[in-house]
A and B are shown apart, each in its own frame.
Chain A
Amino acid sequence: MKALPPNLLEELAAAVGPDWVISDPDRLLVYESDAQTAHNVAPQAVVLPSDTDQASQVARVLHRHQIPLVPRGAGTGLSGGALATRGGVVVGTSRMNKILEVDPSNRRAVVQSGVLNTDLSDATAPHGLHYAPDPSSQAACTIGGNVAENSGGPHCLKYGVTSRYITGLRVVLPDGTTVWLGGQGREAPSFDLVGLFVGSEGCFGLATEVEVALTPLPEAVETLLAIFETLEDAGRAVTSIVSAGLLPAALEIVDRNTIKAVEASIFAAGYPTDAGAALVVEFDGVEAGLAEEAEKAEEFCKAAGAREVRRAESAEERLALWKGRKKAFGTMGRLAPDLLVQDATVPRTRLPEVLASIAEIADRYQLQVANVFHAGDGNLHPNIVFDRRDAEETRRVEAASKEIMGVCVDAGGTITGEHGVGADKQKYMHLVFSPGELEVLRRVKGVFDPDGRCNPGKVVPEDEAPSEAGPNERTEAKS
């Protein structure tokens, strides 16, 4: 990593104001990781622009000096995507937090990319609308971060993920040029550049303004909680619900270890702590027929061996129940100091066997795995809890993690459902892409970022040969 050129900080300060350029090494420490704590690399500076113009000037300065630009939202990401692993300057969107336009009659809104996911839904609720993708970190994560990761969430089973709701993007390219991709709710009459940009993990440029499609709030909601003796039974219930043609808005499973953590927290949702798994099933939409669907789902759960099925009677009960699920990741701190959140998808029908394999791997490595996942679309989050101060245990975590990933890929799945590749999953890219395919990815990035300065060292491995290194070794070797 080369040292920053002498004039760089002054030029950045001229662009955004001296208060919003951070270069003091102590202060930069807080930017050394995101919510995936296995990777720790502090940037050389952080800049916090307040709008597109400032962001564009920042990018121009960095381009002139050929310094890497690393976009960062709220730092709630789970793949180390917002870290300057190859050095350079983090450009944060925390001050770009204004909702620029809400257009209820066309069901669209334009926001700065640092707007929080729930703030957008709260602002549109008075018009009977909401922003549908609901990652579990929605109270804290930004729309820009959601765009970068193409985030999912519990309700994406029915509603679809972020890419379905982004209709336009104002993007500052790595050389400082500002472009609109799509926008004004129009279908772009050529290549789908919006689709290409969503999920690009900050490797193509910095999205500063985002136009989104809004969705009417559902007329009615039915929420069920089914308690199972084993995780496999819960997995079977999911398969039979979906195979029968029911379309729940969400199908979420939490396992025994997760239940323990959640119930010990302030978000306790009343899940019985001796259960093997709990399945949350939610239906929403027009009121007619909704209760019947919920009853059918209840029967499927009982047939799969549910010992108890509860139905939320009030909005409060539903909220409490969801809170337990949505805050599950954070509650893991109650099990152990560190957490490796995995994110993989498998075909839904393979869920029971994959879950059994994960349990076997955890036993063999003597590790505690807490499963929280979007069962409806086969998106697994096996969370391995550990203590990073124990080097030997940390090595076991990495080995187990790799095996789990292998099991998922062998079952016809892939290496990430919604958290992105970032710095964390590069080493698994060769499991799902051929060298030729990786080369296509590199070429696409080159169109937006010919100098390779935009979030370098992420997503696409730069070397041809698959790397065997673990997360820490890899980032340290390159930084």
Chain B
Amino acid sequence: MKNLLRELKKQEEKLFNCVQCGFCLPVCPTYSRLGDEADSPRGRIHFMRAVVEGRIEPASETLNRHLDRCLGCRACESVCPSGVEYGRLLEGAREVTAGAVKPNLLTRLLPRVMASPSLLPPAMLLARALRATGFPRLVALRIPDEGFLGQVKLGMGMIAATARPEVLDGGWGRNVIKAETGSEDLVGAGVRVGILKGCVQDGLLGRVNRATARVLEANGYGLVEVGGQGCCGAIHAHTGGLGGARDLALKNIEAFEARELDLVAVNAAGCGAAMKDYSHLLADDSEYKDRAVNLAGRIRDVSELLSHPGILPGGALELSVTYDAPCHLLHAQRIAEEPISLLRSISGLELIPLPGHDECCGGAGIYGITHPELGGRISRDKVLSILETGAQVVATGNPGCMMQIGAGLEAEGANVDVVHPIELLDESYRRGGLYS
């Protein structure tokens, strides 16, 4: 316990940066729905401070309930005038509480599967096989929302949501026709890029990785295959397993270092945010500290690489699209405009603003399963907001969000597809004849 407390105490100066102004309260999805300040960022920081001051026990049921209830969306950081690093504080606090009270089985199991080279592939294979039967879609639509069945329904909906959307024609090829302008004029000419494959992304949304590769290559980026990479460790850090997160970070540092890359493209907002934070995660590791800073500095969300005015135009894509910002892109990485300008660059595409696009969809890892009622409310609000836009497609750049929103849409039986923004650019390239 002493060691764990030291972890939180290291953050003491950051905790004390909070002047309790309360500006974070209205943007917090849990406070705005529950109205209890114990479920607000300021309240949670107050709890953490009380732990450091010895006024509340790390094992306190109350403390654990309210820290668990945090989605980790970090919307509070985007409005904090004092620059409190809430996400990092939460990770530290969760490590302390996880040391005092054992998290539930699913919360312990999931990070273990994600990190395991022997468990992850069969688990993903199973999920894909299940998806192919069409059973998850049926279950997601038919069974009740309540209780255990509700959790099954959400899980099945998330799997069903990863199926290829109808609006995309398909295309498995990797061949790219070089642009007529000549490759040296392309945005990515001479830039060596590796792609983070991710765990869930690779297992269930491989099409997003393939679209990313095609689009980057079309824009002249030199793609480098990076073997030996693995899960980024985000889910571990968020659930109090900073040790596990560090192990995964070391593995990724070695894998990406081995390939002399200029940049690393990440198409999962949660992974990008976690990898950009490797420098903090390994700040106390004398051997890896500088190497972590080096890799963190090369991480780019794919929308950052493709929001330049110079990117290749594709063919017309007559679709009405609304965009939902992943929290870990908007709030954690502070990337707001890039995905929107990427979508605006596609001719024919009508971009409809989504009210509440800056609020969490309720995905937040497995929040919908661990907090079915509250997660369900947050998720339903998002789905209703999407349906009100009347858009055919909702685009968002994170697998967790795609699956959560997709599951919500499946449950409504709504005919709205969920895609990654890069898939729409990819589709426009295909229609524009850029691929052979």
Interface residues of A (CB under 8 A from B): 20, 22, 24, 26-27, 29-35, 37, 46, 48, 74-76, 92, 94-95, 97, 114, 116, 119, 137, 139-141, 264-267, 327-334, 337-339, 387
Q: Which stretch, B22-30, B275-283, B312-320, B385-393, touches the partner chain A?
A: B22-30
Choose among A26, A75, A137, A265 the residue that contacts B56 (Cβ–Cβ < 8 A). A26
The reply to whether A37 and B20 contact each other, CB–CB distance below 8 Å, is yes
Beta-carbon contact of A27 and B18 below 8 Å:
no
Measured between C-beta atoms, what is the minimum distance from A254 to chain B in Å? 13
Q: Are B84 and A29 in contact, with the CB atoms below 8 A?
A: no
A125 to B417, CA, bound (A): 33
Q: Which residue of A lies closest to B77 (CB)?
A: A266
Q: In the bound complex, do residue B20 and residue A34 qualify as a contact, i.e. CB atoms below 8 Å apart?
A: yes
Report, nearest first, the 8 A-B pairs whose CB atoms are least far apart: A333-B82, A330-B81, A337-B16, A94-B35, A30-B43, A26-B62, A327-B81, A330-B21
B56 touches A337 (CB 8 A): no
CB atoms of A140 and B81 under 8 A apart: no
Q: Beta-carbon contacts of B78-122 to A below 8 Å, as 1s and 0s?
A: 111111100000000000000000000000000000000000000
In whole angstroms, how far apart are the Cα atoms of A332 and B80 in the complex?
11
Q: Which of B37, B40, B79 has the most CB of A within 10 A?
A: B37
B68 to chain A, nearest CB (A): 14
Q: List 20 A-B contacts (CB under 8 A).
A: A29-B46, A29-B47, A30-B40, A30-B47, A35-B21, A75-B22, A76-B22, A76-B25, A94-B31, A140-B22, A141-B22, A265-B81, A266-B81, A267-B81, A327-B23, A329-B19, A331-B83, A333-B18, A334-B83, A337-B19
On whether the beta carbons of A30 and B38 are closer than 8 Å, the reply is yes
**Min C-beta distance of A338 to chain B, whole Å:** 7
Give which listed residue, A24, A34, A330, contacts B23 with CB less than 8 A.
Answer: A330
Contact of A48 among B24, B25, B35 (CB under 8 A): B35
Asked whether A29 lies within 8 Å of B17 as measured between CB atoms, the reply is no
Among candidates B26, B38, B46, B81, residue contacting A333 with C-beta atoms closer than 8 Å: B81
> B55 at the A/B interface (Cβ < 8 Å)?
yes
Residues of A within 8 A of B178 (CB): none
Name the CB-closest residue of B to A262.
B81
Q: How many residues of B are counted as interface, with CB atoms below 8 angstroms from the partner's CB atoms?
A: 36
Q: Which of B1-55 contact A (CB under 8 A)?
A: 13, 16-26, 31, 35-38, 40, 42-43, 46-47, 50, 55
Tell whether, in the assembled complex, residue A95 and residue B20 are in contact, meaning their CB atoms are under 8 Å apart. Answer: no
Do A26 and B60 touch across chains, with their CB atoms under 8 A apart? yes
Q: What chain B residues lie within 8 Å of A333 (beta carbons)?
A: 16-19, 81-84
Q: Residue on A with the closest CB to B22?
A: A76
- A94 in contact with B22 given A265-B81, A334-B83 (CB within 8 Å): no
CB <8 Å contact, B83 and A137: no
A46 to B36, CA, bound (A): 9
A141, B40: Cα distance in complex, Å = 14
Query: Is B66 interfacial (CB 8 A cutoff)?
Result: yes
- Chain B residue contacts of A137, Cβ below 8 A: 21-23
Instruction: Report which B residues bind A (CB closer than 8 A).
Output: 13, 16-26, 31, 35-38, 40, 42-43, 46-47, 50, 55-56, 60, 62-63, 66, 78-84
Given A22-B38, A30-B43, A95-B35: A265 touches B82 (CB 8 Å cut-off): yes
Q: Is the CB of B37 within 8 A of A26?
A: no
In the complex, what residues of B have CB within 8 A of residue A264's CB?
Answer: 83
Tell me the bound Cα distance from A139 to B32 in angstroms: 13
A327 neighbours in B (Cβ, 8 Å):
23, 81
Question: Closest CB-CB distance, A134 to chain B, in whole Å?
Answer: 14
Write the nearest CB–CB distance from A267 to chain B, whole angstroms. Answer: 6
Residues of A contacting B50 in the complex (Cβ-Cβ under 8 angstroms): 26, 29
Give every chain B residue within 8 A of A32 (Cβ-Cβ).
Answer: 46
Give the nearest-CB partner of A324 in chain B: B81
A26, A27, A140, A334: which contacts B25 (Cβ < 8 A)?
A140
A266, B62: Cβ atoms under 8 Å? Answer: no
Chain B residues near A24 (CB-CB < 8 A): 62
Across the interface, do A332 and B38 meet the contact criterion of CB distance under 8 Å? no
Inter-chain contacts of A94 with B (CB < 8 A): 31, 35-37
- Shortest distance between the CB of A342 and any CB in chain B (Å): 14
**In whole angstroms, how far apart are the Cα atoms of A94 and B40 in the complex?**
12
A334 touches B82 (CB 8 A): yes
- Rounded to whole angstroms, the CA-CA distance of A33 and B21 in the bound complex is 11
Q: B19: which of A119, A141, A266, A339 is its contact (CB, 8 Å)?
A: A339
Inter-subunit contact A35/B20 (CB<8 Å):
yes
B1 to chain A, nearest CB (A): 17
Is B37's CB under 8 angstroms from A338's CB?
no
- The interface residues of chain B lying within 8 Å CB-to-CB of A328 are 81
Can you add 11 more A-B contacts, CB < 8 Å, to A265-B82, A333-B84? Answer: A26-B50, A29-B46, A37-B20, A75-B25, A94-B31, A94-B36, A137-B22, A137-B23, A140-B21, A331-B81, A337-B17
Check if A116 sits within 8 Å of B26, measured CB to CB.
yes
Query: CA separation between A291 and B432, bound complex, in Å?
Result: 51
Cross-chain contact B62 with A338 (CB below 8 angstroms): no
Residues of B contacting A337 in the complex (Cβ-Cβ under 8 angstroms) = 13, 16-17, 19
Residues in B whose Cβ lies below 8 Å from that of A332: 19, 82
Across the interface, name the chain B residue whose C-beta is closest to A48: B35
B335 → A minimal CB distance (Å): 14
Q: What chain A residues lie within 8 Å of B60 (beta carbons)?
A: 26
List, in ascending order, chain A residues with CB within 8 A of B55's CB: 29
Q: Which residues of B contact A27 (CB under 8 A)?
A: 36, 38, 62, 66
A264 nearest CB neighbor, chain B only = B83
When A26-B60, A29-B46, A330-B81 are in contact, do A92 and B35 touch as well, CB less than 8 Å?
yes
B126 to chain A, nearest CB (A): 39
Select the residue from A30, A95, A119 with max chain B CB neighbours within 10 A.
A30
In the complex, are the beta carbons of B83 and A266 less than 8 A apart?
Answer: yes
Q: Given the complex, which residues of B lie within 8 Å of A74, measured CB to CB? A: 22, 25-26
Bound Cα distance A95, B39 (Å): 13
Chain B residues with CB under 8 Å of A114's CB are: 35
Nearest chain A CB to B292's CB is how many angstroms away? 24
* Residues of chain A within 8 A of B46, CB atoms compared: 29-30, 32
Q: Which residue of B is nearest A90, CB measured?
A: B37
A49 to chain B, nearest CB (A): 10
CB contacts (< 8 Å) of B63 on chain A: these are: 26
- Known interface pairs A140-B26, A265-B82, A330-B81. Does A31 touch B21 (Cβ–Cβ under 8 Å)? no
A residues within 8 A CB of B62?
24, 26-27
**Nearest CB in chain A to that of B60: its residue:** A26
Q: Which residues from A are CB-within-8-Å of B20?
A: 33-35, 37, 75
Q: What's the nearest-Cβ distance from chain A to residue B44, in Å?
A: 8
**Roughly how many angstroms separate A35 CA and B18 CA in the complex, as a whole number?**
10
How far does the alpha carbon of A140 sit from the alpha carbon of B50 in the complex, in Å? 24
CB distance from B36 to the nearest CB of A (A): 7
A334 surroundings in chain B (CB, below 8 A): 17, 82-83
In whole angstroms, what is the CA distance A113 to B423 when docked?
A: 46
The CA of A95 and the CA of B37, in the complex, are separated in Å by 11
CB-CB under 8 A from A387, the residues of chain B are 16
Chain B residues whose CB sits within 8 angstroms of the CB of A92 once the complex forms: 35, 37
Query: Shortest beta-carbon distance, B58 to chain A, in Å?
Result: 11
Q: In the bound complex, what is the Cα–Cα distance between A473 and B435 (angstroms)?
A: 75
Residues of B within 8 A of A48 (CB): 35-36
Instruction: Determine the distance from Cα of A372 to Cα of B398 in the docked complex, in whole angstroms.
Output: 41
Alpha-carbon distance between A266 and B25 when the two chains are bound, in angstroms:
18
- Bound Cα distance A437, B13 (Å): 45
Query: Bound state CA distance, A76 and B22, in angstroms?
Result: 6
> In the complex, A46→B37 CA distance in Å?
10
- Separation of A119 and B25 alpha carbons in the complex (Å): 13
With A30-B43, A30-B47 known to touch, is A338 a contact of B19 (CB < 8 Å)? yes
Residue on A with the closest CB to B43?
A30
CA distance A33 to B49 in the complex (A): 13
Question: Which among A33, A267, A337 has the greatest number of chain B C-beta atoms within 10 A?
Answer: A337
Beta-carbon nearest neighbor of B56 in chain A: A26
**Which residues of A have CB within 8 Å of B83?**
264-266, 331, 333-334
In the complex, how many angstroms separate the beta carbon of B83 from the nearest chain A beta carbon?
6
